[in-house]
Structure 1
Amino acid sequence: MKADLQTFWAIILASLAVPAPLPAAPAEKEDFALFLLMGQSNMSGRGVIEAQDREPIPGAFKLNSGSRWIAAVDPLNSDGPKKVGVGPGRAFARTILQERPLEKIGLMSAAVGGTTLNQWGPKGRFYKRAVRMLRQGEKSGHLRAILWHQGESDAAGTTDRAKTYAIRWVALMRSLRRDAGCPHVPIIVGKLGDFVRRPQAKIINSQFERLPTLLDNVVVVSSKGLRDTGDGLHFDALSQRELGRRYANAYLSLLDK
């Protein structure tokens, strides 16, 4: 009888208790600061991955092949499973977060190794894939900048193609800004490494220097002092991290204007 009374009063008291609050529902739209990474292998990353490159950075995420946001650990890109490695993206995000710790950074890496500028034309599959990634990313935030590193393939081409790089690039970026619905979104461009010995490398780098005079909100990042992996083509991991910091500082300099 005593046990029955105890059970009765336990039920009564439980019915009067204030229920525990349910977990808050996730926001329909995270306010990510989105960055679209485009170009070829040096944007994808070919630096040797170390333990530090596998450690999540609080506030930094990448859009994976399943269109899900996951921790931004290297490799950010999957364009070459046997070669892909450290690129500039993580160091870029880390530097931004050091200055703007309340941000949530969303990296969308659309770079494809070995591609030429012409292959990135608006009717091509690489351009369309980048726009699809952007559309998916925009469900969680807003595009803040485009990061571009490409030109090594064009540096192996003809002199005429190299000398028209700037004009072709401007046409591409005008189209991309229009399709992104961001007519003045910042674009950060990295120079080819001084170690690149392809015939037109110097011409391509000189073309990069023209870009800010041809299009608004464009900053060109120096590759001075950066080293290669030994192949005369790709930045090593240490240099990729420094390159990412330079991209970030260039982006932050635009915010201060």
Structure 2
Amino acid sequence: MKNLKILFLLLIPTLFYTQKIRVFILAGQSNMNGFGYNKDLPNDSRTFKDVYIFQGNSVPDGDLSGGIGKWDLLKPGNGTGFKTNGKINSPSDRFGLEMTFAKRIKELFPNDKIALIKYAREGTSIDSLAASNFGCWDADFNGKNGINQYDNFLKTVKNALSEKDIDGNGKTDELLMSGILWMQGEGDASYNEDIANEYYGHLKTLMNQMRASVLTDDLPVVIGKISDSGKNEKGKVWPMGELVQYAQEKFVRDDKNSAIVRATQKYNYGNDPWHYDSAGYLDLGKQFADEVFRLIINFEKKD
């Protein structure tokens, strides 16, 4: 009997043990989705221990399959072309900033497991007037069948957080919300001055809604500053790019728990005028990791 009591006492920590997993949300449009080629990834940015990703299925407004997904170990293939039916993930030949973000954030938090929740959709805007056929992140936009991109995002987050054992080791996870990474704005810079001038207010509302969706009002937010390749006949791809850039800078000036990645201004582009080349995405992930780490340190000092 005495031995049974000792055994029970030894088992208590195992039975009730929870492990901390840092959670980061990755969202936006195509340059968040990622157009880097897997073949260009360095060997040290291909496989990771203790880094997991849930990528919500990216679909147009109104498609009921948006946001379904399945947790998996992070590996190449979560860029454009990634698909999932919620049971099987089908990686593509492309990657986004998640690869080098994971590498760098693990260097900065070596003792923590990392979980990434990703939902991104090419061409999408925040303003409903710029939605076109790509989709819109405005929570009040009815979209097709009453479903918009923010709805798909919420479904992604809900599905991801419904899993209580992300790494499948039989222990309940203690999820520590650590940051939102947002790379978007080109869609709103593609039209007219009126739409671009609304970007600041729309961005502020959306980031606060995303924070509220994970019950963390002052969660760190890192914005990727949009850039322009200049690769068209007019020398400017985004007609209102400067106004959106100004709005992004204003957001981080006004929001004390935010930061901006400006390195995008120096990136080269791939086979089109809209998306960075592989080297750009490799650097982008590192830049996001360094910025969000700085915010996290200050954020967690307050607690």
The TM-score with structure 2 as length reference comes to 0.70
Structure 2 gap ranges (5+): 1-13, 57-67, 84-90, 128-135, 141-146, 165-172, 231-236, 299-303
RMSD after superposition: 2.7
Change (3 A) 1:84 1:55: closer
Partner residue in 2 for 1:256: 297
- In structure 2, distance between residues paired with 1:150 and 1:58: 29
Moved more, 83-92 or 182-191: 83-92
Classify the secondary structure of the residue corresponding to 2:156: helix
> In 2, are the aligned partners of 1:60 and 1:94 still within 8 Å (CA)?
no
Offset of residue 183 of structure 1: 0.3
Query: Quick check: 1:188–1:219 contact (8 Å CA) kept in 2?
Result: yes
Q: Which has the larger radius of gyration?
A: 1
Match of 2:183 in 1: 149
Aligned length: 235
Give the C-alpha shift of residue 59 in structure 1: 2.0
Matched-pair contact (CA < 8 Å) for 1:170–1:214: no
Q: Which moved more, 1:113-122 or 1:195-204?
A: 195-204
Amino acid at match of 2:245: N
Aligned to 1:156, what secondary structure does the other structure show? Answer: coil
| Matching residue's letter, 1:60 | V
Q: How does 1:101-120 map to 2 (within 5 A)?
A: 101-118=110-127, 119-120=136-137
Bigger shift: 169-178 or 179-188?
169-178
Among 65, 68, 71, which residue is 1:69 paired with?
A: 71
Contact kept in structure 2, 1:38 and 1:111, CA below 8 Å: yes
Matched with 1:239 is: 280
Taking the aligned partners of 1:83 and 1:159, their CA distance within structure 2 comes to 36
> Any idea what SS the aligned residue of 2:94 has?
coil
Aligned to 1:170: 204
- How far apart are residue 26 of structure 1 and its match? 9.4
Provide Cα deviations, 1:221-250, integer angstroms capped at 9, x if missing partner: 111311111312101111101011000000
2: distance between equivalents of 1:115 and 1:74? Answer: 24
2:138 alignment partner in structure 1: 121
Find the counterpart in structure 2 of residue 14 from structure 1.
none
**Structure 1 position 72, deviation (Å):** 0.8
Q: What's 1:18 paired with?
A: none
Runs (5+) with no aligned partner, structure 1:
1-24
Q: TM-score, normalised by structure 1?
A: 0.81
Instruction: Report how far residue 52 of structure 1 moved.
Output: 4.1
